[in-house]
Amino acid sequence: MSNPYDDPQKPAGKHEISSQPEENKPDKKLLAKKYERVHNVLFLVDVVYTLVLIAIFIFAGKGGGFSQQLADWIAGWCPNYWLNIAVYTAILTTGYMVFLLPLQFYSGYILEHKYGLSNEKIGSWFFDRIKSYLLNLVFMAIMAELLFLLLHYAKDTWWLWLGIIWVLFGIILSNIFPVLILPLFYKYKPLEDKELARRLITLAERLNAKILGVYELELSAKTKKANAALAGLGNTKRILLGDTLLKNFSHDEIVLVLAHELGHFYYKHIWKLIFFGGCVTFGGLYITGLLLDKLVSVAGYASITSVASFPLFLLCMFIFALVTMPVNACFSRMLERQADLFCLRETNAPQVFISAMTKLADMNLADEEPHPVIEFILHDHPSIGRRIKMANQFAQSES
């Protein structure tokens, strides 16, 4: 459903590890709550920091702020308008990534090591940031060029055409992710455990899911967390199992996790997410279109097609994403609950489900019972506590 390193609470699903002594369990849960709390604070800091950076860039100074000064400086030695957009976007993206780097280093490296969740070396972490920066650079440049092209030639309907392109790009990205993007950050190879691979493929075939293969993802080079996913679309669809998961979970637990992922396939959740995300994106672009002309005038830019106005577009979309975050999270949790129920019905193994959830919470330091408001706003999966409760209810209904 999501990238294999995207969600720490996603169920993962070879050999049973010895459980921790019962007296250590409260400490582990307390640590998980502290870890969750720190991440929530960092999320808030990230949001405020980003808003302040964009506001300073747009409004600090006279006549369009630093953004206009940057655009004028580029135009002084680069007279081509379309090349101006590419250069401006490259400098804007680079500056933002540099300013954000200290916060990313703390949350992604220092914090993960502090809580004993990371195996990654500092050189590897920085190399990943460079690769992420280059991918963002390409994406931002393409988006900016398309935006200003549409603002020039489809002034009244630019938001509609940009939304269509955005959705098509999402479909293409889902298709190429496991073959072009994922290998940039993680190594993976065909699963060597033939018996487990046979069980997983048999389950997929029973549900008419065409799977290219089952692969072991080398998560342990970077993290101690466990995860799994059914990644790709069409001819790139494949099962990805983290090696941390294979070392710490039983075969039954792994089969159960795949059943959850196949639930997403059975109910066509990927396409539903694409459709829902597309509707939200169209809404954001439409509202941005209504506001952009007025904001351009307030900020002091010459016109909506001025390169310097690009941060205004980003600011509008960023705020819209924040406002709609609870809606997106709620929709995602609904699909995850549906996949959990599918998994329980197909396997009829609620105790295995509970075992996998409990083990996952321990390995990933997932807060089993986050504050309801935090869960409502930020969590795209139901809390592990809710998932365990649902499994218990299923077991009672079947008894």
Q: What integer best gives the mean pLDDT of the chain? A: 88
Q: How confident is the model at residue 13 (pLDDT cuts 50, 70, 90)?
A: very low
Residue 252's CB: how many other CB atoms inside 10 A? 18
Kindly state whether residue 9 falls inside one of the protein's structural domains: no
Mean predicted confidence (pLDDT) in 336-363? 94
Mean predicted confidence (pLDDT) in 196-225? 88
Of 83, 65, 62, which Cα lies nearest the Cα of 74?
A: 83
Kindly state whether residue 98 falls inside one of the protein's structural domains: yes
pLDDT at residue number 155: 85
pLDDT at residue number 4: 32
Q: How confident is the model at residue 399 (pLDDT cuts 50, 70, 90)?
A: low
Kindly state whether residue 12 falls inside one of the protein's structural domains: no
Q: Which helix (H) or strand (E) holds 147?
A: helix 122-153
pLDDT at residue number 19: 36
Q: How confident is the model at residue 1 (pLDDT cuts 50, 70, 90)?
A: very low
How many whole angstroms separate alpha carbon 345 and alpha carbon 333?
A: 18
How many whole angstroms separate alpha carbon 328 and alpha carbon 364?
A: 23
pLDDT at residue number 23: 47
Kindly state whether residue 288 falls inside one of the protein's structural domains: yes
pLDDT at residue number 230: 81
What percentage of residues in the chain have a pLDDT greater than 70?
A: 92
pLDDT at residue number 301: 87
385: which residues sit within 8 A by CB, 6+ positions away? Answer: 368, 369
Of 365, 362, 388, 366, which Cα lies nearest the Cα of 20?
A: 362
Per-residue three-class SS string for 364-383: HCCCCCCCHHHHHHHCCCCC
Kindly state whether residue 3 falls inside one of the protein's structural domains: no
Of 273, 388, 356, 378, which Cα lies nearest the Cα of 1?
A: 273
DSSP 63: S
Q: Is the pLDDT of residue 62 over 50?
A: yes
Kindly state whether residue 315 falls inside one of the protein's structural domains: yes
Q: Is the pLDDT of residue 74 over 50?
A: yes
> pLDDT tens digits, residue range 306-316?
999 999 999 99
Q: Is the pLDDT of residue 103 over 60?
A: yes
Kindly state whether residue 171 falls inside one of the protein's structural domains: yes
> pLDDT tens digits, residue range 140-174?
999 999 999 999 999 889 999 999 999 999 899 98
pLDDT at residue number 11: 34
pLDDT at residue number 9: 35
- Whole domain around residue 291: which residue ranges? 23-398
> pLDDT tens digits, residue range 352-369?
999 999 999 999 999 999
Residue 340 burial by CB count (10 A; 0-12/13-18/19+): exposed, middle or buried? buried
Kindly state whether residue 185 falls inside one of the protein's structural domains: yes
Point out which residues pair with 124 in neighbouring strands: none
How many whole angstroms separate alpha carbon 264 and alpha carbon 229?
A: 10
Q: Of 302 and 377, which is predicted with more confidence? A: 377
> pLDDT tens digits, residue range 259-288?
998 898 889 888 899 899 999 999 999 999
Residue 41's CB: how many other CB atoms inside 10 A? 11
Considering its fold, how many domains does the chain have in total? 1
